[in-house]
Amino acid sequence: MTQKAAAAAAAAAESTAAMRKDNVNIYNQTATPDETPILIKNKLAEFELALDDVGDKEKRCYLMAKEKGPDECNDAHKLIFLRCEVFEVDRAVARFVKYWEARVAVFGEDKAFLPLAVDGALKDDMESIEVDYLQVANKTDPDGRAILLFDFNKEGEDLSSESLLRVVWYQAHVALTQESCQQRGVVLYVRCVDRFTDWRPSLSKKIAAAARGILPIRLAGIHFMQPPSYITLILAVVRPVMGKKLRNRFYHHSGSVDDLLKSLSKFGLGDMDMLPTMFGGELTSCL
C-alpha cells in the first residue's frame, strides 16, 4: 500500500468511527427497532393474520410453497421479510406474496420450492455461479451490511440471462444467511460492461425489479466503480425500475486506488480490505 493509500485508509477509519459515534446513518436508511422475543412473536402473529387476509388466488404460489417446501416459507423465512420492511407488517406481507410469485416464475414449479442451494434449485446453474457474475464478499461493511460484488462484464459470457438471474437470487440468499444483512441490508460494488454491446438491458430490468420490491433485501447503496462514459445510458434504463428512493442511492467512484479509497471513505469503505480485488483492493468473495 502506498503512503497516500495508507493515509486515506487511516482517515477513512477515523471518519467511520466518528460517524458511528454520532449515530449518523450514512445511507439514510430507516432505523431498525430493538428486536426482542416479544416483538418478533407479536409481529409474526400479525404477519399470519395479514397473510390470511390475502386471497388464495393472489397467494397461490405461496400456498404451493407451503405444501411442497414448507421449510422454505417457515417463520424464520417470514422474519426476513419483516426485517426487510422494518417490521411494517402489511409491506412485509405484500413483498412476501410477490416474492413467491416471482420465485416460481424464475425457477419454475419443479425447482422453486427446493432450497436455493447448489445441490437444490441451482443444481443446473453451476457454470453461471462459477463465472462470478455476482459474489458475496468475505466480510461486511462496518455497520454489518453484506457487501456484494456485481461484475456486469460477465454478461459477455455465453450464458443465458435466465441462469444469470437465478444466480442473483441465489447470491442474495447467501447474503441473507447473515442476520446483520437481514437487519441492515447490503451494499453493491458494480463493475460495468467493458463493451456496451455485451450489456443485457432486459436482464438489468429484471434484477432491478427484484431488488426493489421482491427479494427481501434492504439495498443501502450501489457503488459504480470506474463507470464508463455510457453509464448514463445504462442508468436511464435501470433508474425508472428502481424507484425514487433507490435512485438516490447510486454513487460513482473513479480514478486511482487512492482516489477510490478517498471517495469510498464517507461510506466506511475507504480501507484496502473493503475495496474489491478487481479494483486494486484486497476484498474477496466468501466462496
Phi, psi of 103 (to 5 degrees): -60, -40
Question: Mean pLDDT over all residues of the chain?
Answer: 88
Name the least confident of 15-29, 79-93, 266-280: 15-29
Q: At residue 1, does pLDDT exceed 80?
A: no
pLDDT band at 25 (very low <50, low <70, confident <90, very high): confident
Contact 217, 211 (CB under 8 A): yes
Better-predicted residue by pLDDT, 156 or 92: 92
> How far apart are alpha carbons 31 and 75 in whole angstroms?
23
205 pLDDT higher than 90: no
Taking a C-beta distance cutoff of 8 angstroms, is the pair 2, 259 a contact?
Answer: no
| Apex 58 CA angle, 173 and 38, nearest 5 | 55
Kindly state the average pLDDT of the residues 241-260: 82
- Over the stretch 34-76, which tens digit does the pLDDT of each residue have? 999 999 999 999 999 999 999 999 999 999 999 999 999 999 9
pLDDT (0 to 100) of residue 6: 52
Please report the pLDDT score of residue 14 as a whole number.
Answer: 52
Query: For position 150, what pLDDT does the model report?
Result: 93
Beta partners for residue 151, in sequence order? 191
The DSSP result for 131-173, as a single string, is TTSEEEEEEE-TTS-EEEEEEGGGGGSS--HHHHHHHHHHHHH
- At residue 208, the pLDDT reads 87
Question: Can you give the pLDDT at residue 116?
Answer: 97
pLDDT, residue 247, reads 66
Confidence (pLDDT) at 147: 97
The per-residue DSSP string of 62-115 comes to: HHHHHHH-GGGGSHHHHHHHHHHTTT-HHHHHHHHHHHHHHHHHHH-TTTTTS-
Instruction: Please state which of the ranges 82-86, 150-154, 203-207, 240-244 shows the lowest mean pLDDT.
Output: 240-244
pLDDT for 15 = 46
pLDDT at 16: 42
Most confident of 8-17, 29-38, 88-97: 88-97
> What pLDDT is stored for residue 229 in this prediction?
76
The model's pTM: 0.86
**pLDDT score of 192:** 84
| pLDDT value of residue 151 | 92
Phi-psi region of 127 (alpha: psi -120 to 50; beta: other; left: phi over 0): alpha
